[in-house]
Amino acid sequence: MLKLILGIGFVFSLLGPAFGQDTIRVMYYNLLNFPDESPERVSDLRQILGYAQPDVLVVCELQSSEGADLILNSALNVWGEDKYEAAEYMDGPYTDNMLFYNSDLLGLLGQEEIPTDVRDHNEFQLYYKNPSLSAASDTIYLNLYGLHLKAGSGFFNQRKEQAIVLKYHLNSLSNAENIFVGGDFNFYSGNESGCLAIRETGDINLFDPIASIGDWNNNVAYANIHTQSTRTAPLADGAGGGMDDRFDLIFTTADVFDNSNGLELIEGSYQALGQDGTRFNSTITSPYNPSVPDSVSNALYYMSDHLPVLLDLKTDYTASISTELKENLQWYYNATSNELVFNQNIEDAQFLLYDLSGQLIFNQTVDHSNSIKFPRSIKNGLFCWNLVRKDKLLRGKVVKQ
């Protein structure tokens, strides 16, 4: 029997600005004991993520694997989207950290729990799916760490001890490159001992991407970077008091500033989402917040007492990407002939097929043909493919069966 697995238009949803020079958006977010007794907050999270469009999302204060599934299936892979995948949920003491990522751009290489006396730190290593990746080439790696340090003004030493645990771990890395350490640090000042330990102890220094180390707590001079609280009065959970603390940060290694390992911070991209600098001791919604749509500021208010922080990175893959193929490009897998078949001819292009771990398993030059025949040695399953032609790139997925 002839089996046809159709793919219609998928590739064009991937050809937005992110592929002129691939950009990767990294977001960290304290989800305030999610899902707790209010899983309906996932609708607020869906609104926030739909607006921010992160490629990497690292969260803290996650309570369960069910909460992780809810985020993946009801806040990320929604409205026909299916590109997001999740790391393995690891249940540590108290609440947990978790990573979600855009699998069209990135693959998960590994993860590890780093125990501390309070909460575990979590390490996630991602790799970039370079469209020109070959068996003989290397790729770009991202080392991401999710932290949630001890809260409270009387726990400076505990935060310092947790920070030192992380820095000792970084000393042991074999590929100490493109490091991002983020989360809810509960630092009242950039000069407290825990923040100094994060930045300066060990072999690997970490940096504030916006160089705004200072005495943040209740200081109007830092109103444009405060991340907590979105509310002046607490709701069912979380803190009130309005915006007067910079608890949520992303620290990076120096290579991210000079593109020495394939990634470079886009200047001006670091932000606390929804923070316009006029929130001091006020809520995220009042006074009127022009920095995000009303629906997003309302969602930020109800989702958590913290704001998410994010930054954008550009890769060293700098091809100017366009396409001359028809906008109604379609393809299907013909199981009888074991071919990927397009509805138009492909000229002078390189076809690359990857498994879901990002390993290149097949490549072939395609010229004046509308089909690619797969070797019988390739087992059945879901695969990602790229078509590369000079400065043009197309991507898609195919189910071989």
C-alpha to C-alpha distance for 388 and 346, rounded to whole angstroms? 10
Which residues 6+ apart lie within 8 Å of 70 measured at CB?
Answer: 35, 39, 42
C-alpha to C-alpha distance for 291 and 386, rounded to whole angstroms? 37
C-alpha to C-alpha distance for 182 and 353, rounded to whole angstroms? 34
Q: Which CATH class is domain 4-14+321-400?
A: mainly beta
229: which 2 tokens?
């609280």
Is the whole model's pTM more than 0.85, yes or no? no
Taking only the tens place, the pLDDT of each residue in 303-315 is 999 999 999 999 8
C-alpha to C-alpha distance for 398 and 373, rounded to whole angstroms? 13
Taking only the tens place, the pLDDT of each residue in 317-373 is 643 333 344 445 677 888 888 888 888 888 888 888 887 666 788 888 888 888 899
Residue 82 has pLDDT above 80, yes or no: yes
Which of the residue ranges 59-73, 166-180, 345-359, 367-381 would you say has the lowest mean pLDDT? 345-359
Measured at the CA of 29, the angle between CA 302 and CA 72, to 5 degrees, comes to: 85
Domain map (residue ranges) of the chain:
4-14+321-400, 22-315
Q: Which CATH number fits domain 22-315: 2.60.40.10, 3.50.50.60, 3.60.10.10, 3.40.718.10?
A: 3.60.10.10
C-alpha to C-alpha distance for 171 and 190, rounded to whole angstroms? 22
Which of the residue ranges 8-22, 83-97, 256-270, 325-339 would you say has the lowest mean pLDDT? 8-22
Burial of 65 (0-12, 13-18, 19+ CB in 10 A): middle
C-alpha to C-alpha distance for 388 and 134, rounded to whole angstroms? 12
- The two beta strands, 392-400 and 381-389, are antiparallel
Taking only the tens place, the pLDDT of each residue in 182-195 is 999 999 999 999 99
Which residues 6+ apart lie within 8 Å of 324 measured at CB?
Answer: 392
3: which 2 tokens?
């089996």
95-119 mean pLDDT: 95
What are the two backbone dihedrals, phi and then psi, of residue 351, each rounded to the nearest 5 degrees? -100, 130
Burial of 172 (0-12, 13-18, 19+ CB in 10 A): exposed
Taking only the tens place, the pLDDT of each residue in 10-35 is 332 222 333 335 799 999 999 999 99
Taking only the tens place, the pLDDT of each residue in 109-154 is 999 999 999 999 999 999 998 766 544 446 789 999 999 999 999 9
Comparison of pLDDT for 18 and 79, the residue scoring more: 79
